[in-house]
Amino acid sequence: MSTASYNCPCCGGGPLKFSGESGKLECTACGNNYEPEALEILNASESGEQISFERPKEGFRTEEGVQAYLCKNCGAELITEDTTTAAECPYCGSPTILPDRIEGGVKPEKVIPFVVSKEQAQNYFKGKKLLPNVFLNSRNRISEMRRLYIPYWLFSCDACADIVYDAEKVHTEQKGEWEITRTKHYLVRRRGGMRFENIPVDGSVKMDDKLTESLEPYDLSAAIPFQGAVLAGAMADHADADCDACEKRAVERSVEQTMLDTVRDYDTVSERSRRIIAERGSATPALLPVWLMTTVKEGKT
């Protein structure tokens, strides 16, 4: 299977990593930086082709759901999952991009580069009194931190909704030795139309939806057009969650919250029925950045 990696054309040894702050590929050894477009042109002119292909040794077998690749830098065999788009060689540390995954999978149109450094991510834990003890305990340590690009779908659509709620107002008063509670019941209806732009839903089956939703909102104005060089120095997956199912969840979640926000001044509110229709929808595949941390406490990961 094909791989693509970026080594420094100045010192020849340093692997290049993409910097979200500068928008350039930076050498970890000599400190030089390069425009991604210029590096692509340089690589193509030297090799005579856009991507060079290397394949594992004959007879090498892989399990279902994984594939083998060869690192262009040291020749080591890499085992990756079917959805992995970018990885790092465990032997030489070189960032490795798997272009056939990008071509064969859902190619992202936008990407938000990493702008938070590893040091900034580590310092995030300092002074956070409400963090679980596992992060604060002196015997606990962060064993590994990885930059991971999560695949997302960004949905835009026009939505029409008609939702009926059961609502209650409860009033309690004291009369002598008696406590009297009066409950008034209401049937509340909300109907209307709205336009949504770029509703994010993670497109990875492996990632917990509740986890990724807790990271929102992302600053989508920081997104740039996708190019493979942006993945250098990070791990990445491509979308493997069903687009239609993600769209249904995204629209229903957004409409439900928008409508519910208008039902005010009641003590309890519960949904009785709903009718939601989405029209003129579009989906944009994107990659959004996440720091993935592995912690170890008393030998347990």
- Mean pLDDT in the chain? 76
Between 87 and 247, the higher pLDDT residue: 247
Count of alpha carbons within 13 Å of 95, Cβ hemisphere only? Answer: 28
The whole-number pLDDT of residue 170 equals: 95
Distances (CA, A) of 216 to 68, 72, 118, 202, 290: 34, 36, 20, 11, 11
Question: How confident is the model over 213-233, as pLDDT tens digits?
Answer: 888 888 989 999 988 778 777
Q: 162: pLDDT confidence band, cut at 50, 70 and 90?
A: very high
Q: What is the mean pLDDT of residues 245-262?
A: 88
Question: If pLDDT is split at 50, 70 and 90, which confidence band does 241 have?
Answer: confident
Q: Please classify residue 275 by burial: count the beta carbons closer than 10 Å to its beta carbon, then call 0-12 exposed, 13-18 middle and 19+ buried.
A: exposed
Closest CA to 23 of 291, 235, 227, 216: 227
Instruction: Give the pLDDT of residue 56.
Output: 39
Residues 6+ apart with CB under 8 A from 268: 167, 168, 170
Q: What pLDDT band is residue 300 in, cutting at 50, 70 and 90?
A: confident
Q: Is the pLDDT of residue 165 over 90?
A: yes
For 88-107, the pLDDT digits (tens) are 665 555 666 666 555 555 67
